[in-house]
């Protein structure tokens, strides 16, 4: 990744990178879709809806149903998802240790609903690390895979896109980061790979991939990180 001076901002996706929310959301969503008569497994749901914002997910559900979704269905889904997340969501292993040490400026850019992002980060005890530095698709015209959200985050943080590194787990996020002119690392704890994108399976690897670890395995200190 080059020397650490080339990295002025790390942009984290939220679901699947900071919080282990995706299996929970996929399970609830798949169950609700099956009640609509859509035949889909939890895993198929996870694959099809990974990284989509709410509007894109709604369009996909309507397409699969072949009809308008019943009035109130999405409101009911939101309540069910948030209830399950509040009870079950946990941080991704190693994320707290990473954030406690990371001194390069960092932020969150998520396709998730603002309320959902706030809920999961809060339940997992990660919200204080990102105070004032949480950006969601609700703030832009187009969520990922469009580059809008990452470009917004970089602009608000005052960093040129070329000096940003995005940490993502979804293909839509990878596409968005590349379209924004940013470098991207894909977090894949299951060991999967995705084309030419550099993947890694343990957040403890991230500092060295960013070029921020020193010879004592600590993380380079930047005074402007908080």
Each domain of the chain, given as residue ranges in start order, spans 4-20+90-210, 22-88
Cα separation of 113 and 110, whole Å? 8
Bridge partner residues of 12 (DSSP): 108, 167
What pLDDT is stored for residue 213 in this prediction?
A: 65
Whole-angstrom Cα Rg for the chain:
18
What pLDDT is stored for residue 184 in this prediction?
A: 96
| Phi then psi dihedrals of residue 117, to 5 deg | -60, -45
Q: Which helix H or strand E contains 63, and what residues bound it?
A: helix 54-65
Q: Strand, coil or helix: what is 168?
A: strand
Cα separation of 194 and 47, whole Å? 14
Strands (E), the chain: 9-12, 106-110, 134-136, 164-168, 183-187, 198-200
Name the CATH topology of 22-88.
DNA polymerase; domain 1 (1.10.150)
Q: Could you tell me the mean pLDDT of each successive run of 10 residues in the chain, 226 residues long?
A: 67 97 94 94 90 82 89 92 97 96 94 95 98 96 96 98 96 95 94 84 93 53 35
Q: How far is CA 66 from the centre of its chain?
A: 29
Shared fold status for 4-20+90-210 and 22-88 = no
From 8, 13, 82, 169, active-site residue? 13
Active site residue 169: no
What pLDDT is stored for residue 52 in this prediction?
A: 79
What pLDDT is stored for residue 130 in this prediction?
A: 98
Name the CATH topology of 4-20+90-210.
Rossmann fold (3.40.50)
């Amino acid at each position: 990744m080059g020397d650490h001076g080339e990295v002025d901002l790390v942009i984290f996706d939220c679901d699947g990178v900071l919080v282990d929310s995706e299996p929970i959301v996929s399970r609830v969503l798949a169950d609700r879709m099956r009640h609509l008569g859509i035949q889909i497994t939890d895993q198929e749901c996870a694959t099809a809806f990974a990284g989509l914002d709410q509007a894109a997910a709604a369009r996909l559900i309507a397409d699969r149903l072949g009809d308008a979704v019943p009035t109130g269905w999405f409101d009911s889904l939101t309540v069910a998802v948030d209830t399950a997340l509040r009870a079950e969501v946990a941080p991704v292993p190693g994320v707290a240790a990473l954030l406690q040490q990371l001194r390069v400026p960092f932020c969150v850019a998520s396709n998730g609903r603002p309320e959902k992002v706030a809920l999961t980060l809060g339940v997992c005890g990660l919200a204080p690390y990102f105070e004032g530095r949480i950006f969601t698709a609700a703030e832009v015209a187009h969520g990922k895979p469009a580059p809008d959200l990452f470009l917004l985050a970089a602009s608000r943080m005052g960093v040129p896109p070329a000096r940003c590194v995005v940490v993502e787990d979804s293909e839509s996020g990878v596409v968005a980061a590349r379209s924004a002119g940013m470098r991207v690392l894909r977090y894949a704890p299951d060991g999967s790979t995705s084309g030419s994108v550099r993947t890694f399976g343990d957040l403890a690897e991230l500092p060295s991939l960013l070029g921020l670890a020193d010879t004592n395995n600590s993380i380079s200190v930047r005074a402007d990180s908080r």
